[in-house]
């Protein structure tokens, strides 16, 4: 795919930093966003330290990085989601916006899915940013796997959902930077209602088996 400037909203957290690392290692220019520019610069320095031959990450405020990017990843907790996406509506207009947000909570029995207005976090983002092309992806790849030294997460698939076919195709290609394979088209954006809570199942399996589970879809060859 053509190299992109990708902003990560919430880029100081493990998921945003992990995906930012993979995107940077595949040649994309990565802008990590934060409520604090200092924290964002520190996170960008961590990415660049892991890829010293080609430092491609920079930090900034969430609004500055969203405005400067071609493509924007939302990697914020669901608790802050509506407020932050609502503030960025203008900066996100006309852009592909990827949501990997999983609206989950935890109690003594483990993780569980939260009820969400509009059906899912990705659909809520589409309502808050109506001039953007929102795509759901990267819900099931764990931050620790992303930050690991494994060259590619070949054993996992990235499931991609969205209502804009071209935007979805761009994100399917971007998934190669994580798994080495094109992401799988899981259907329209409303499939995020299934994809987001599924992460609770993976976390539960991880706890039971002390592992790092992921998703791999059978029945699809590499040429899709």
Ligand X SMILES: NC(=O)c1ccc[n+]([C@@H]2O[C@H](COP(=O)([O-])OP(=O)(O)OC[C@H]3O[C@@H](n4cnc5c(N)ncnc54)[C@H](OP(=O)(O)O)[C@@H]3O)[C@@H](O)[C@H]2O)c1
Q: How far is the CB of 186 from ligand X (least distance, A)?
A: 15
Assess contact for 56 and 29: CB atoms under 8 A.
Answer: yes
Which is nearer to ligand X, 101 or 134 (by Cβ)? Answer: 101
Q: 31 is written with which tokens?
A: 């802008």
Residues 23-82 that bind ligand X (CB under 6 A): 34-36, 39, 75-80
Is residue 137 within the footprint of ligand X (CB under 6 A)?
A: no
By CB under 6 A, residue 84 contacts ligand X: yes
* Helices 192-209 and 121-128, axial angle in degrees (round to 10): 140
- CA gap 9, 27 in Å, rounded: 19
Cα distances from 196 to residues 42, 108, 112, 169, in angstroms, run 29, 20, 11, 20
* CB-based contact 134:189 (threshold 8 Å): yes
# binding residues, ligand X (CB under 6 A): 23
Among 143, 152, 176, 216, binds ligand X (CB under 6 A): 143
Give the nearest distance from C-beta 147 to ligand X in angstroms: 9
| Residues contributing to the site for ligand X (CB under 6 A) | 10, 12-16, 34-36, 39, 75-80, 84, 100-102, 139, 142-143
């Amino acid at each position: 795919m053509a190299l992109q400037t990708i902003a990560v909203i919430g880029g100081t957290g493990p998921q945003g930093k992990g995906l930012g690392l993979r995107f940077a290692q595949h040649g994309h220019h990565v802008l990590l966003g934060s409520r604090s520019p200092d924290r964002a610069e520190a996170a960008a320095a961590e990415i660049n330290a892991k890829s010293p031959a080609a430092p491609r990450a920079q930090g900034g405020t969430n609004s500055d990085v969203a405005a400067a990017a071609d493509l924007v990843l939302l990697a914020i907790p669901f608790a802050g989601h509506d407020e932050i996406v609502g503030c960025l509506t203008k900066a996100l207009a006309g852009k592909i916006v990827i949501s990997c947000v999983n609206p989950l909570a935890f109690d003594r029995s483990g993780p569980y899915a939260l009820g969400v207005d509009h059906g899912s976090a990705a659909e809520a983002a589409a309502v808050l940013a109506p001039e953007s092309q929102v795509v759901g992806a990267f819900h099931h790849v764990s931050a620790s796997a992303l930050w690991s030294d494994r060259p590619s997460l070949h054993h996992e698939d990235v499931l991609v959902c969205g209502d804009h076919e071209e935007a979805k195709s761009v994100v399917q290609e971007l998934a190669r930077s994580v798994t080495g394979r094109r992401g799988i088209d899981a259907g329209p954006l409303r499939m995020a209602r299934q994809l987001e809570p599924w992460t609770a199942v993976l976390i539960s399996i991880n706890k039971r088996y002390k592992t790092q589970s992921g998703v791999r879809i059978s029945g699809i060859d590499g040429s899709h």
